[in-house]
Amino acid sequence: MSASRSSIAEVPILETARLKLRAHGLDDFPHSAAMWADPAVTQHIGEPLTEEESWTRFLRYAGHLALLGFG
């Protein structure tokens, strides 16, 4: 499957009185890296991630959202 420039999705913001879902931003990375480095978070799904592994995952999120409209 190939994505053309015209298919790049605009990421919506979903908001309720108690919750706001939005695309990841660079300011979110330190929190994401800390979460994925926490053994309590990863105990049932694998090993904690290094900062580099977290960065790769973070970029994957952005790519999925921008190019495929999900992630």
- Global pTM? 0.74
What torsion, rounded to 10 degrees, do the Cα atoms 32, 37, 39, 41 define? 10
- Identify the pLDDT of residue 62: 85
pLDDT number for residue 70: 77
Q: What is the pLDDT of residues 6-44, one digit of tens each?
A: 455 677 899 999 999 988 889 999 999 999 999 999 999
pLDDT at 15: 96
- Which secondary-structure segment (H or E) carries 15? strand 14-15
